Structure 1
């Protein structure tokens, strides 16, 4: 085992699926992921989820938190005239008055949501998308993880809001640096970690050493002294259950919404098809399920506790 001890360098929350995320100094890690992550999404006229895969311009939808009003602020570009707010913690009376309960399709998994009926929201985003869309918040019904996160494989039941697969993605700066060095050799500009939309970013050890992570710990350590004194009671343990298989979303420049026809997809395909379970897609980052909940912040210790050579991607949802 290559013992990796690193630290968290960034935390990123993406309140709306496929839209611009928020870099935060600290966050609450829940069993469903970082608080507010992928709690909202857009749907088409058939109530099917809409993502950056088919609508690259979604990266131009910015999100922020207005803590004074406890609201999610959604802005198209940086135009204050194209901005709406929705409450982060609406009570049932507000939901009854301002939304309708719907069923939505995300990767053929049918789950519940609250669709906003505010005419300003409906017209603003339908105009932006150039077609009728709905805007929904995840409802209370559990969306149970499947694939690598299936209860029979994980040993417990975990749920998510609107991520593609699992609650948390962790990525390594050292692996991004290695990828960027290869891009530079090809005369391409370096890319940012945001292209891969991870939640927790660490400095990393050897590039791509995350491929074999099995269990990681935040804000704790494995020293004998800490173990004997019970000092790890505040530590957060996370099961790393799968590599993150990639489509061409990282080809989209998050600042401009322009999609490169080739990179970094072509380069990743050339050397990062490393998972026997999904042979035709390259991998970057690791998909995870937290075992417990607590506070996380930039600078916290990150330690790999256990490794495996048996990761194999299993399609879920």
Structure 2
């Protein structure tokens, strides 16, 4: 079936500047080759440069980044957390011009990539708030000169780029998919959860539960031309959705509930929620809440 039968609207846009820390809800965002601008541009690592996430440090969910804008773009990354004085960090250009930053190499999953260490103040702040169980922590920024390429198998030969995202530039989910989960949680007497647990960049409304799993190339109507996002891989889920983004505490009920009805043969039976997508066209365009998204069905 190739006719356009799927139509939705962007209900929310989320940018996650620091991998596995809290996100920022925005009304608009520029699409770059690596996803929404500033998404997963920073990452927390241990002293050996290994990626750290909420899997190891659930309190990362309580670190709230802020991006400070000026006439020349984003000039500061500010870290906020309960009981901590806000930490203001200058952003780092691709040349690493900030005196606080030094070139380093870090690992995100199996990829060793160049980055810039954001300095001792960031290290001390993160280590104080997140604890010393894993030794001194560091904050790094991705070196934008480096091409970290997504799996060509899943991207079907397209050169799709990432910064510190798990594997693909843009994650799409829908309000209906979340509603389906919350209906099942309510049947167990469990309070509803919100989309922050699933860390999607684009949240769609006006569709049925998990319709995003079953469509071909998504076309987004922007003010200056169309954007095309190709859904390429269902998003397998680790235990992070079990972590309450307001408390940093974990309970297995979300994963246990998804296990009942969200095993996906396309990823060897893994539990999935949301679709990883890659840009095919429209890099540089601005996505906005309320824009129409259309696609052909793909079964």
State the TM-score, normalized to the length of structure 2: 0.91
Call closer, same or farther: CA 1:57–1:147 in 2, change over 3 Å: farther
Indicate how the Cα distance of structure 1 residues 47 and 237 shifts in structure 2: closer, same or farther if over 3 A, else same: same
Q: Given the superposition, is the C-alpha separation of residues 93 and 179 from structure 1 closer, same or farther in structure 2, using an over 3 Å criterion?
A: closer
Which has the larger share of strand? 2
Counterpart residue number, 1:125: 126
Q: Distance in 2 between matches of 1:132 and 1:233?
A: 46
Give, in angstroms, the shift of residue 257 of structure 1. 0.4
Match of 1:177 in 2: 179
Residue 86 of structure 2 corresponds to 83
Q: Deviations over 1:227-283 (max 9, x none)?
A: xxxxx97010111101111111100000110101x211001011100233331x211
Distance 2:26 2:286 in 1: 12
Which residue number corresponds to residue 92 of structure 1? 95
CA distance in 1, matches of 2:247, 2:293: 33
Spell out the pairing of 1:1-317 with structure 2 (5 A cutoff).
Answer: 1=1, 3-68=5-70, 70-77=75-82, 79=83, 81-88=84-91, 90=93, 92=95, 94-95=97-98, 97-117=99-119, 119-129=120-130, 130=132, 131-139=135-143, 140-146=145-151, 148-150=153-155, 153=156, 155-219=157-221, 234-260=225-251, 262-279=252-269, 281-292=270-281, 293=283, 294-304=285-295, 306-309=296-299
d(CA) in 1 for partners of 2:273 and 2:117? 33
Quick one: distance in 2 between partners of 1:148 and 1:5? 28
Flag structure 1 segments of 5+ consecutive residues without an equivalent.
221-231, 310-317
Aligned residues: 288
Structure possessing the higher radius of gyration over alpha carbons: 1
Q: 2:93 and 2:108 mapped to 1: Cα distance?
A: 23
Shift of 1:6: 1.1
Conserved in 2, the CA contact under 8 Å of 1:149 and 1:166?
A: no
Report Cα offsets for 1:146-199 as digits up to 9, x if no partner: 15445xx2x321211000010000001011111111110111101101110000
TM-score (norm 1): 0.86
State the shift of 1:120 in Å. Answer: 2.0
Helix, strand or coil at the partner of 1:276: helix
Say if 1:148 and 1:284 are closer, same or farther in 2 by CA, change over 3 A. farther
After superposition, the CA RMSD in angstroms is 1.9
